[in-house]
Structure 1
Amino acid sequence: MDGKLAVIGLGSLGSMALWQASRLSQDVVGFEAASPAHGRSAVGGDTRLFRMIYRGNPDLYPILERSRDLWAELEAETGQNILARTGGLSIGTKDGAYLTALLETTHTTGAEYQILSREQMAERYPQHNLRTDDIAVYDPHAGALRTDRAVTAAVAAAQANGATIHTNTPIDNITETSEGVLITSGEKTWTFENVIVSSGGWSQRLMPDYLKAATETKRIFLTWFVAKNAAEFSPENFPVFIRIEEDRSMYGAPAVDGVTVKATLDGRGGPTKDAESVPRNLTPAEIQETTETVTEFFPGLVPNIVRSDAFPDLYTADHNPLLGRPTENSRIYYATGFSGGGFKNATGFGEIAAHEALGKRAFDGLDFVRPDRFKTT
C-alpha cells in the first residue's frame, strides 16, 4: 500500500478534502494534473460567491453552515484572508418568481435576512440601477471567497499535517483490485486503500458508464469591468450580488484587486466536448449581452469588458453534486459534479468526503447527492 487515501484532483473540492483527510490521517496523498489553482481549472476567476440565502434545496443549508465555520478554521489555521465578508444582495422584481422562490427556501432554512426596498437600496447601495418594481434581499453572512488563496491554503495546510502532494501528475486510470485501488499515471502506479475522485471537468474518464451518462462538461465564462470610482465598488461598500430579472440576469463581486469588478451573466454555461476543449474567448453575442446588461445595471462601471475568461466544470443531470461511492462496497469515492455552484460548500463537502472515504464517519440526509440516484437498475 502507498497510503490509506489518495485524492485525485486538488481543485475546489479536492483541496478541501485533502486538508480534512490530513486531519484524520497522515497517510494521505494528493494528485494534481497540473498545479493547485492552475489557470485552466474551475478554480479560476479570482472569486466565488458565498451566501446563506439561496433558492433551491433546503437540505444544503446545514452544509453551508458547516462550510462557513470551516472557512473560518482554514483562515485561522493558515493565516490567510480567504472569505471577504461583504454581505450579499439578491435582487429581483417584488413578488417575482426569483425572489418568491428564494424567500420560500429562506423561510424553510431559517437563514437571517433583511428586505430592502428600492428606496433603501438607493440609499445604501446606489451602485445598482434598479427598475421600478425591484427590491433586494440582504444576506449579512455572504461574501466573496478568494479561490486561488483558498485552494493553495488548503493544500499547504494538508502538507503541514503530513500529506504528500504530487503535482503535474495526471491520473490516466483507476482500477479496483482485491487489495485496494490501483491508480496509474503514465508508467507510474500506486495502490491505495481508498481513492477520492475530485477532478471536476476531468472526472468523467474515471467514472463508471452510468455516471458518465448522467454528467456533462460545461463552459462557464466570467467578465470584469473597471469602475469609474473604484472606492464605490470596494469590498467595504459593494456586497456580492445576484440579480435575476425576466429578461436579464447577472451576478458578481466587488473589486477585490482595487480595480476591476466582476459582473457576469448568470446561468449561461454551455456544453463543451471536454475540459480540454473550452473556448476561452467570448462570442460576439456573449459580449453584446454582457455589455448591455452592465450598461443598464451599473452606471458606475465603464461598459467595456476589460478581462474575460472561461473555465470547465462538470454538471450532473439534476445539478446536484456527486458525493459518495458508485456501489456499496466500492473503495472509490466521487466528490465532483458540482455544476458550477460548489465552491461555497467546498469545505463542508470536503469534510464529508474525507470522513466517509476514510471510514471515519457516515453522514445522513444526503440522498440528493449520492451517485446511486442515477442508477437505472
Structure 2
Amino acid sequence: MSQSFDVIVVGAGSMGMSTGYHLAKRGIRTLLIDAFDPPHTEGSHHGEPRLIRHAYSGGPIYIRLALEADRLWRELEEESGEQLLVRSGVLNMADRFKSKFLSRLKDTDRAGIQVELLEAEEVQRRWSGIRLPETYEALYEPHAGYLFSERCIAAYRQLALSHGAMLLPYTPVQHIEPDGEGVRVKTRVGTFTASRLIISAGAWFQALQPFVSMPIRAVRKTVAWFQAEAGLYEAETFPGFTLDTEEGGYYGFPSIAGAGIKLGRHDGGLSWQPGEEPAPFGSLAQDEGDLRRTLEAYMPRAAGKLLRSAVCKYELTPDEHFIIDKHPNDDRVWLAGGFSGHGFKFSSAIGSVLADLVEGRSPIVDIEPFALSRFNSKTL
C-alpha cells in the first residue's frame, strides 16, 4: 500500500465517506482512515433512518444545501443501484405561537419547495393516529422523506473504493503533524503523508488533541422503536415527522416493514468521553420514559411495547450549527464537524463541498457561516 496520497480523510463516517467518494471520483488519490469499520455503531449514522427535509429553518444556505444533497442522493441511488431515499413526506408539528413556520414560507417559495401549512384539525383528519392540541399547527412537505443511513454509507464506501480510494478500517490515528509541503498521519499500521488533510472525526475529535481542539461536545442520545396500531402508522401512508413540545423536541419515522414507529429526542442528552462506552439504553428512566410519554400524549396508539432501542453518539457545537473551516494554524488541513442532530441529510452535499475546498474550487454555498472563528475557543 502506498504511503503517500493527495488527500487523507480522517474519520470515514457520513461526511468522511461521502468526501472520499467525491474525491476519488475526481481522480484524486485518497486515503480514508477510520477507528472502526464503517458503517458502524460508534458514530452518528447507525440505527436507520434519517429525515431529509428541504423547507429548512436555518435559512437559504441550509435550503440550498438540502436541495443539492437531495440531487446527490438521487445520483448515488442511480450509481449504486440501491434504494436510499423514500419520499414519505415530513410533517413538522409545533405550537403556532412558537413554530415560526410562517417565516419559512418566503424562503421555501423562492426555492420552489412545495409545502402546506395545516391546522391541528386538518393534521388529525389526514393522519388519525396523531392527536394535537388545538393551538398546534404543522408544516407539511410532501416531497421530503427519509434516508437509509447505513445503506448510504455502504454505497459511498463501495463506490469510493471502486474509484480508487483506499480505506484503513480499525485504525485509530495516533499523531498528526505538518510534514514539509504536506501533513503526516501516524497510525499503528504505518505513517502516511498527503498534501491535504480533511478531519471529519465526529464525536471523536477529542481523541485528536492537541493537534486540533474543536468546540464540540460528545453527547449520549437514545432512540427507540415502539409497537404501533396496525393501519395507522405504516410507512406506506404515515410521514416522517418532527414534534416540538413544552417538554422537548422530538423526531420520528413511520413503522417501516413492521419495525414499529421510531422516536428520538433532539434536545437534552448526557455528555460522554470518547473512548468510554456510553451507558446502555434503559440505564436511565428517561431513556424510554421521555419517548413513551411523548407518544402517549401525541400519538397514543403508537405507544405500544418497546421493540428495539439504540444509543447514539452525537457531536454538538455550542450553537448546533456546523463547522467547515481550515485549521487555524495550517491551511493544508480542513475541519468538518458538529453535524449531529440535523447533519446526515446534508452529507452527500458536504462531501462535495469538502472536495471542492481541497481542490481550491468555490463550493455551492458560502461556508463563512460555518467558520470556526465564530467561537471564542480556538484550536492550536
TM-score normalised according to structure 2 size? 0.91
Give 2:50's aligned residue.
Answer: 48
Partners of 1:167 and 1:19 lie apart in 2 by: 16
TM-fit CA distance, 1:309: 1.4
Q: 1:78 to 1:177 in 2, by over 3 A?
A: same
Give 1:365's aligned residue.
Answer: 366
Q: Is the 8 A contact 2:323 2:335 kept in 1?
A: yes
Aligned pairs, number:
372
1:257 aligns with 2:257: yes
Q: 1:364 to 1:309 in 2, by over 3 A?
A: closer
Q: Which amino acid aligns with 2:72?
A: L
TM-fit CA distance, 1:228: 2.2
Partners of 2:303 and 2:270 lie apart in 1 by: 27
Deviation digits for residues 72-97 of structure 1 (CA, Å, limit 9, x no counterpart)? 1111110111111111001122x321
Partners of 1:160 and 1:232 lie apart in 2 by: 42
Partners of 1:320 and 1:55 lie apart in 2 by: 12
Partners of 2:140 and 2:211 lie apart in 1 by: 43
Structure 2 gap segments, 5+ residues each? none
Give 2:97's aligned residue.
Answer: 96
TM-fit CA distance, 1:363: 5.7
Deviation digits for residues 169-192 of structure 1 (CA, Å, limit 9, x no counterpart)? 121221112131111112511111
Let me know the Cα RMSD of the aligned residues.
Answer: 2.1
Partners of 1:341 and 1:20 lie apart in 2 by: 21
TM-score normalised according to structure 1 size? 0.92
Matching residue within 164, 167, 192 for 1:165: 167
Deviation digits for residues 275-307 of structure 1 (CA, Å, limit 9, x no counterpart)? 633222231133222211111221222433222
Partners of 1:58 and 1:207 lie apart in 2 by: 34
Partners of 2:276 and 2:176 lie apart in 1 by: 20
Partners of 1:247 and 1:199 lie apart in 2 by: 31
Partners of 2:133 and 2:196 lie apart in 1 by: 53
Deviation digits for residues 140-161 of structure 1 (CA, Å, limit 9, x no counterpart)? 2211110110000011111111
Give 1:319's aligned residue.
Answer: 320
Q: Which amino acid aligns with 1:221?
A: T
Give 1:356's aligned residue.
Answer: 357
Partners of 1:364 and 1:298 lie apart in 2 by: 38
Q: 1:59 to 1:257 in 2, by over 3 A?
A: same
Q: How much identity, in percent, do the aligned residues show?
A: 26
1:272 aligns with 2:272: yes
Between 241-250 and 14-23, the greater mean CA deviation after superposition: 241-250
Partners of 1:199 and 1:152 lie apart in 2 by: 18
Q: Is the 8 A contact 1:324 1:353 kept in 2?
A: no
Give 1:105's aligned residue.
Answer: 104
Q: 1:366 to 1:26 in 2, by over 3 A?
A: closer
Partners of 2:47 and 2:148 lie apart in 1 by: 9
Give 1:335's aligned residue.
Answer: 336
Q: Residues 132-143 of structure 1 correspond to what in structure 2 (within 5 A)?
A: 132-143=134-145
Deviation digits for residues 49-71 of structure 1 (CA, Å, limit 9, x no counterpart)? 11112323432111111111001
Matching residue within 115, 118, 122 for 1:116: 118
SS at match of 2:302: coil
Partners of 2:372 and 2:205 lie apart in 1 by: 13
Structure 1 gap segments, 5+ residues each? none
Q: Which amino acid aligns with 2:226?
A: F
Partners of 2:208 and 2:27 lie apart in 1 by: 25
Give 1:155's aligned residue.
Answer: 157
Q: Residues 45-84 of structure 1 correspond to what in structure 2 (within 5 A)?
A: 45-84=47-86
Give 1:219's aligned residue.
Answer: 220
Deviation digits for residues 240-293 of structure 1 (CA, Å, limit 9, x no counterpart)? 001112235421011223222102233123322236332222311332222111
Q: Is the 8 A contact 2:61 2:365 kept in 1?
A: no
SS at match of 1:306: strand
Q: Which amino acid aligns with 2:201?
A: S
Q: 1:215 to 1:300 in 2, by over 3 A?
A: same
Q: Which amino acid aligns with 2:250?
A: M
Q: 1:364 to 1:79 in 2, by over 3 A?
A: closer
